[in-house]
Amino acid sequence: MSNNERAGLERNQGGLDHKRTMFLKAFWGLYLRDLRVLSREVMPFLLRVGMQPLLFLFVFTFIMPRMSGGNPMAAAGGATFGAVLLPGLMAVAIMFSGIAAVALPLSTEFGITREIDDRVMCPVPVWAVAVEKISFSALQSIVAALLVIPMAIWIPATPVYPHIQNWLLLALVLVMSSLLAGALGLAIGSIVPPKNIGLIFSIIVVPITFLGCVYYPWAGLSRIPWLQIAVLFNPIVYISEGLRAAVTPGVEHMPVWAILLALTFFLVLLGRFGIRGFLKRVIS
Amino acid sequence: MIVEIKALTKVYEGKQRVVAVDGIDLEVQQGEIFGLLGPNGAGKTTTIGICTTRTLPTSGTVRIAGIDVVGHAAEARKLIGVVPQYNTLDRSLTIFENLYFHCRYFGFSHGQAKERSEGLLAQFLLTERKDATPSQLSGGLAQRVQIARAIAHRPLVLFLDEPSAGLDPQSRIAMWSAVQELRKEGITVVLTTHYMEEADELSDRVGIVDHGRMLALGSPQKLKDTFGAETMIDLKLRHVEGAETVAVEVRGLDGVKSAEPTAEGLRVFATNADGLLPAVIQASVRLGLRDIAITEPSLETVFIHLTGRDLRE
């Protein structure tokens, strides 16, 4: 190798290092910005992620067991209804948080104000701005999901304790599910026009929650085979089942390998879809 | 060469095929203030959009300090600052934070970002409003914050897209002096405008664009000398039918370059209006002269010369 070539190579490597540093610093800057915005909204954030599991647990595991005639839902689920509900509510918290953290803000930022512009003009590839959105939303989803655990212990008439045997599995499922929710939020936020964003709740969010094996385990659908197959196209199913496997392994759940495989599949699918939509919105 | 645009085109395919940029070549020198002047829809914003990595060209290249904006968009963004047409300040952050986080996006440390933001607030007389949110600011102030934000990471070239759109006259003048101040810092400025006063007042060189093409390029004085050194006299007549006969008569007058009937009357280009005016009025008064407007040689008359249309049409 000649001296010139060596010098060129070194310069190139320096350039690559420089590029990586620039990239990381910009990404970190975007993260700090989101943290700052979130720090201003701690209360709204807690209310947003906490209200639904709080009321759900209060009504179904505190009020109903005390009602005369008992709780029909709890009766159907048996004594384990609380155990079925805990991972399900964590799944809902993850998904709602992903949509609230990405889809809703994006729809305004893309809309009239176009305030995403300054972040898009960062010295990083535009897809990285979208990835930052997903990963920051994932952080919120994880917090939201973990908040459900103490609620499930304190609120129900009979406390529901998690039985975590495999911490690695829990971490893996939590992180993958949260990223998946962020990717879903990104896909919705960048594809749906701002004026229709409210409608999305009725036609996408509510159905995928109710049909997402949140309030019942997937195995429980065995007597309705068409539905059991149909819900396999719903990514929320794997979030619920994954958390079931990690948090309440005593409740029947899908095999872990299938859950992880499906989570990966939907993460890649929705991630690609969301990032592509994002790019389309900001680059003409 | 700080900005190098070569054979740039942008075609929007669709139901209606739109050729927004149709083969623009342009070179902007370091330290220059360059104005792209043209009516709405001329392709100015698309050109700026491509230069600032937000729009992908159909063909042609743009290089900023030698860096290709399509191939190396992220690196190119370090070298450019952008003030878009609309207020895109981050509504979730205060004015100070808008500047501070912008600096962080560009790799400044906490200390550097804080120092730079405070410096910019002082420079742009915004210190008092540093804790306000963007929605509390007037259009003029918001524009100032946007300029401060755009230069916060010390870019080599600043792109301003219609910087005075929606500003009151006072804010516009304040914005002009802010842009002229940037020259002292050695920042190259490329701005688009459809106000000829703005292009004339601010720019060292002006490019006149229409229908995606560059029609003329040069210093405002050179353009006026080359294309529009004549005063324009616009006459509005009550009886337009006879305008052609008046035109023939006026063309015979000393100093008149051309005289053409228009929808409302007659348009006369002349090298010197002073002694000519009474004769022109005399000639047209029998058709019911109801209004007369005199436009001194300006980029406006240059534009009309080049396109036959007003900038505002």
Q: DSSP string spanning A137-172?
A: HHHHHHHHHHHHHHHHHHSSSS------S-HHHHHH
Does the pLDDT of residue B28 top 90, yes or no? yes
Residue B302 placed within a domain: no
Size of interface A-B (CB pairs under 8 A): 90
| Helix, strand or coil, per DSSP, at residue A2 | coil
The two counts, helices (H) then strands (E), for chain A are 13, 0
B50 and B112 housed in the same domain: yes
pLDDT at A214: 87
Element (DSSP H or E) covering residue B220: helix B220-227
Buried b (16+ CB within 10 A) or exposed e, A79-107: eebbbbbbbbbbbbbbbbbbbbbbbbbbb
Distance to chain B for A9, nearest Cα, Å: 19
Among B118, B54, B120, B65, residue whose Cα is nearest residue B88 = B54
Instruction: Report the alpha-carbon distance of residue B302 to residue B216 in Å, rounded.
Output: 9
| Helix, strand or coil, per DSSP, at residue B167 | coil
| Residue A175 exposed, middle or buried by CB count within 10 Å (0-12, 13-18, 19+) | middle
Task: List, in sequence order, every residue forming a beta bridge with B100; answer none if it has no partner.
Answer: none
Residue B306 placed within a domain: no
Q: What percent of chain B has pLDDT over 90?
A: 41
ipTM of model: 0.83
CB B78, CB A123: distance < 8 Å: yes
Residue B301 placed within a domain: no
B154 and B236 housed in the same domain: no
Task: List, in sequence order, every residue forming a beta bridge with B209; answer none if it has no partner.
Answer: B214
Does the pLDDT of residue A72 top 60, yes or no? no
B56 and B166 housed in the same domain: yes
Nearest to A118 among B55, B74, B102 (CB): B102
Neighboring chain B residues of A284 at a CB cutoff of 8 Å: 49, 54-56
Neighboring chain A residues of B152 at a CB cutoff of 8 Å: none
Search chain B and give the residue with CA nearest A123: B74
B156 and B221 housed in the same domain: yes
B273 and B193 housed in the same domain: no
CATH number of the domain encompassing residue B17: 3.40.50.300
Residue B185 placed within a domain: yes
pLDDT at A8: 42
Range of the domain at B237: 230-296
- CB spacing of B101 vs A113 below 8 angstroms: no
B286 and B141 housed in the same domain: no
Phi then psi dihedrals of residue B37, to 5 deg: -110, 135
B22 and B115 housed in the same domain: yes
CB B144, CB B124: distance < 8 Å: yes
Count how many domains chain B has: 2
B21 and B34 housed in the same domain: yes
Probe site for chain B from A22, A25, A106, A115 (most B CB atoms < 10 A): A115
Neighboring chain B residues of A119 at a CB cutoff of 8 Å: 90, 105
Nearest to B88 among A115, A123, A283 (CB): A115
Q: Which of B172, B192, B225 is the last residue of a domain?
A: B225
Strand order in the sheet with B289-295: B256-261, B265-270, B231-237, B289-295
Search chain B and give the residue with CA nearest A19: B75
B239 and B220 housed in the same domain: no
Does the pLDDT of residue A3 top 60, yes or no? no
B143 and B194 housed in the same domain: yes
Neighboring chain B residues of A129 at a CB cutoff of 8 Å: none
B195 and B245 housed in the same domain: no
- CB spacing of A22 vs B78 below 8 angstroms: yes
> Which of the four pLDDT bands, split at 50, 70 and 90, describes residue A71?
low
CATH number of the domain encompassing residue B283: 3.30.70.920
Instruction: Report the alpha-carbon distance of residue B194 to residue A55 in Å, rounded.
Output: 58
CB B44, CB B51: distance < 8 Å: no
Nearest to A125 among B74, B86, B97 (CB): B74
Q: Which two tokens stand for residue B239?
A: 């009886």
Write down the mean pLDDT value for chain B: 87
B169 and B21 housed in the same domain: yes
Per-domain residue ranges for chain A?
1-40, 41-282
CB B265, CB B237: distance < 8 Å: yes
| Residue that wins the pLDDT comparison between B251 and B111 | B111
Among A29, A263, A12, residue whose Cα is nearest residue A123 = A29
For B111-151, the pLDDT digits (tens) are 999 999 999 999 888 899 999 999 999 888 898 899 999 99
Q: Where are the beta strands (DSSP E) in chain B?
A: 3-12, 18-28, 33-37, 59-64, 67-68, 80-83, 157-161, 188-193, 205-210, 213-218, 231-237, 256-261, 265-270, 289-295
Nearest to A29 among B54, B56, B104 (CB): B104
CB B83, CB B148: distance < 8 Å: no
Does the pLDDT of residue A20 top 60, yes or no? yes
Give the dihedral sign, CA B245/B248/B251/B254.
Answer: negative
CB A211, CB A238: distance < 8 Å: no
Residue B152 placed within a domain: yes
Does the pLDDT of residue A282 top 80, yes or no? yes
Among B83, A104, B214, A224, residue whose Cα is nearest residue B206 = B214
- CB spacing of A118 vs B88 below 8 angstroms: yes
Neighboring chain A residues of B52 at a CB cutoff of 8 Å: 121
